[in-house]
Amino acid sequence: MKISIITTTFNSGKTIRDTMESVLKQTYQDYEYIIKDGASTDDTLEIIRQYEPRFKGKLKVISAPDKGIYDGMNKGIAVATGDVVGILNSDDFYTTDDILQSVYTVLNQSPDLDAVYGDLHYVNRRDLNKCVRYFTSRYFRPCLLRCGFMPGHQSFYCRRTVHERYGLYNLKYQTSSDFDMMVRLFAKHKIKTKYINKDFVTMRLGGMSTAGLRSKIKVNKDVAASLKDHGIYSNQLLQGVRYLWRIGEVLYARIWF
């Protein structure tokens, strides 16, 4: 079972080494690594080329202008040849070296499953050992989509046939196309999934999903638009619940990490 890992980059020279190193350390070796670069102007491509020999033919690099991170993901998925597809952002890295092994084991044991997902955690950009928020997908249920909840996107691995049947990321939702994907897959198409009790990915604070107030306002609008477009009722009160939940995630991280 080959797993396709897709990373989108744009001027990611400061972080891409950690991302690539974490892929190289994976114990499960039947994978291809696709990097879709949006025509970076820093040293991102130079670093990627330095690492290329270490992947021994498993690395595919595409560098061309695109319409943003979700367009890059779509272009990566379009050339993927693996049985399973997952996303690893260029600011992030695998928390442990057995993530792909865990994905393979569960999907291989249950051929009827369409996808798996797990947990992730956020760290201070200046101290990667300092957990500032722990995001668990343990309690996710499709009904919680109306509150803006979804599984950790960076921990979501689905069979490639899922994208072939149900499509790619909708670029209409500039900041929340990942949420829209979860709405389509879980609420509309009701794919069969399983939660893996494992911390998949370490994420640096400061990415698109954790940016400032203006970004959060845009995210809220995109989330509301996606739910409305798919006929799922929601309102501002329901949407606000997830921010209370996030406070709990931050407090949990302070107590246990």
Q: Could you tell me if 130 and 115 are in contact, meaning their C-beta atoms sit under 8 angstroms apart?
A: no
Cα→Cα distances 84→128, 157, 234, Å: 29, 7, 32
Three-class DSSP category at 116: strand
Closest alpha carbon to 12 in 43, 34, 36: 43
Residue scoring higher pLDDT (214 or 86): 86
pLDDT tens, residue by residue, 173-213: 999 999 999 999 999 999 999 999 999 999 999 755 455 66
Partners of residue 9 on adjacent β-strands: 37
> So what's the pLDDT on residue 180?
98
Tokens of 65: 């202008």
CA geometry: angle 81, 57, 164, nearest 5 deg? 10
Going along the chain from its start, the domains and CATH numbers come out as 3-256 (3.90.550.10)
Tell me the pTM.
0.94
> So what's the pLDDT on residue 137?
97
CA geometry: angle 4, 79, 192, nearest 5 deg? 50
pLDDT tens, residue by residue, 26-37: 999 999 999 999
Cα→Cα distances 227→14, 69, 100, 109, 121, Å: 36, 21, 31, 33, 26
pLDDT tens, residue by residue, 80-111: 999 999 999 999 999 999 999 999 999 999 99
